[in-house]
Amino acid sequence: MQYTLEKVKFYKDGSFHSGEYSFCTDSIAISSTEMSGGIISKFNNCFVFPAFCDVHVHLREPGFSYKETILTGTKACARGGYTDVFSMPNLNPVPDSVENLKTQLDIINNDAVISVHPYASITIGQKGEELSDFEALKDMCSGFSDDGRGVQNEEMMREAMIKVKKLGKIIVAHCEDNSLLFGGYIHDGEYARLHGHKGICSESEWKPIERDLKLAKEISCKYHVCHISCKESVELIRRAKADGVDVTCETAPHYLVMNDMDLKEDGRFKMNPPIRSEADRLALIEGLKDGTIDMIATDHAPHSAEEKSKGLEKSLMGVVGIETAFSVVYTHLVKTGIITLEKLIEVLSINPRKRFGLPETNDICIFDLDKEYIVNPNEFLSIGRATPFENEKLLGECKLTVCNNKTVYEKL
């Protein structure tokens, strides 16, 4: 059945248009707020966007369903306005073989409420010692990543890029030099010095990026950099793009709106890479504005309450963010005039789909941009509750998400 939304603004051809918006769905509930003629009046004065796409989420299944499941994770994604997400391979079993990846795909096919595109691992067991069978996995995965563990050996990465190029796939790199970590767990900056914490230097991130960019240029491999957090990474990728390297990158909302002096002695502020300095944050914003940073991903990484209750030093790394991503960036960067709403939709929806070969979508999400709410983790659909934005007042609430002509989230 077709429904028409009055007095909405919808995104089309890179800009917004006022008027009516029609779409078909087989499962939108008819409510008493509807007007005659199939008009859903409760969405008046809202914005209709092409549904969002996140190329970096952790759905934790198989292997860690106490942290998150495919079902709970994809319901959380739908609540955030997402209908396409790419799931990371740090699972048990690791998707390094057809058999192991099929285990994950079976759960996705049974339980996911949106479209999930899994990565296979670059190396067997993500141990960095032997490459996975790329040829056998190529038609089952969206790309290859060892997220959570950087590929430490340059020759191993070179061999991976050569094989991936032949298959027309993409390397999705977690860039972290283990030899430069020195037991650190937050940014090696002012907050660490003031509070006696061990720091993670920015070089541990940008040095592997520098290495990989040289390889990607030499091999002409499609290369994507996960969760960049520091100014040096932005500049290296900016230069590589100008030099013709086939590289894209992502950052996450918390890196764009927080610096290390916003930290608190709480595990909900601990993630990898860490929130860095104000200079790094400003460089990321400039990279977002000039197109160096292609997309915003959440690195949605749920853990149990116990695992996140041990402070900055002892808690596991990772925070949730899929349900608040749009609102965080809209509130802090769009409403303040730093970027446009069009730019936000570009980096949340258009660019990730284009880079990872997804077709233009008919999926939509509808947001009330005037709706103000306070972030309450107890209301999350994700099992994970650890967010640095807890109790923050945000603007922009998702009212409806439609995936494959089905309503997968509705705010009643």
pLDDT tens figures, 270-325: 999 999 999 999 999 999 999 999 999 999 999 999 999 999 999 999 999 999 99
| Tokens read off for 16 | 């917004």
Closest CA to 10 of 2, 341, 18: 18
Closest CA to 313 of 149, 192, 165, 163: 192
pLDDT of residue 6: 62
| Tokens read off for 271 | 């993630």
Question: Token match 């067997």: residue?
Answer: 124
Per-residue pLDDT at 186 exceeds 70? yes
CA atoms within 13 A on the CB side of 291: 5
Beta-bridged to residue 118, according to DSSP, are: 87
Cα–Cα–Cα angle for 164, 170, 176, rounded to 5 degrees: 100
pLDDT of residue 82: 98
Position 366 in a domain: no
Per-residue pLDDT at 330 exceeds 80? yes
Closest CA to 157 of 173, 169, 143: 173
Position 406 in a domain: no
**Alpha carbons 40 and 403: distance in angstroms, whole number:** 18
Measured between alpha carbons, how far apart are the two ends of the chain, in Å?
20
Mean pLDDT to the nearest integer, 35-50: 61
CATH number at residue 218: 3.20.20.140
* pLDDT tens-digit readout, 265-274: 999 999 999 9
Catalytic residues: 299
Position 217 in a domain: yes
Q: How far is CA 115 from the centre of its chain?
A: 14
- pTM for the complete prediction? 0.94
pLDDT of residue 12: 78
Position 281 in a domain: yes
Please give the residue range of the domain that contains residue 331: 51-361+373-391
* pLDDT tens-digit readout, 228-243: 999 999 999 999 999 9
Position 245 in a domain: yes
Provide the number of structural domains found in the chain: 1
153: alpha, beta or left, given left = phi > 0 and alpha = psi -120 to 50? beta
**pLDDT confidence bin for 10, thresholds 50/70/90:** confident
* pLDDT tens-digit readout, 74-83: 999 999 999 9
pLDDT of residue 22: 66
Contact indicator for 260, 236 with CB cutoff of 8 Å: no
**Alpha carbons 363 and 80: distance in angstroms, whole number:** 13
What's the chain's average pLDDT?
93
The C-alpha R_g of the chain, in whole angstroms, comes to 21
**Alpha carbons 151 and 177: distance in angstroms, whole number:** 8
Buried b (16+ CB within 10 A) or exposed e, 125-134: bbebeebbeb
Position 9 in a domain: no
